[in-house]
Structure formats: structure tokens, C-alpha cells
Amino acid sequence: MAAALFDAQGCLTAEGFARIGASPPGRAPAELAAHLAQCARCQRRLLASAASPSGVPAPRRQRPPVWRTAVAVVASLLLVMMAIVMLRFLTTAPR
């Protein structure tokens, strides 16, 4: 029975993952839960399959374009400079 839950590499098979998924939270079979807690490969496989309901990994998000990042940095610097000018204006005593 346990041999059907583990493959030749010692990782969980699809049936093993199905058993874990079918059990209520905190009630997975002890042997399967212990293996899953120690095996990084099985953890990655479980998280990848849980990322999308169809079992197909979700597409990776693309990075924002560099120009948009540059605009955000320039806008932030302008806001800081405006704040400094306003502080200087408000803290100087009138003559």
C-alpha cells in the first residue's frame, strides 16, 4: 500500500498527493505528512499544483518596463525636493 504512494526516488506519487488533498486539514496520514514536511521537491510540486485549479502552472508575471520605474523614481525625487522647499519656506522667519 505504501509503495503505491511513493515513486522510485522516494517522493510522493499522484495517489499520495490525492490522499493528502482528500484528507481534512491536520488529518493527513502521518507517513505522508512527515515526508511532505521534509521533501523540498514534493513541497514545490504541491504548491505548483495548488497555484492553479487546472493543475497547469500559472504564467509568470512580467517585469514592469524600465521607463515606468524611472518615472516613479523621478516623481519620488521631485516630491521630496518639493517637501524640502516647502519646509524651508515655512521655517524661515519673515523679515
pLDDT category at 10 given cuts 50, 70, 90 is confident
Model confidence pLDDT, tens digit, residues 12-35: 888 888 888 888 988 988 998 999
Estimate the share of the chain in helix, then strand, then coil, as percent rounded to the nearest 5: 65, 0, 35
* Exposure class string for 66-88: b at 16+ Cβ within 10 A, else e: eeeeeeeeeeeeeeeeeeeeeee
Model confidence pLDDT, tens digit, residues 31-89: 989 998 999 998 888 887 776 666 555 667 888 899 999 999 999 999 999 999 999 98
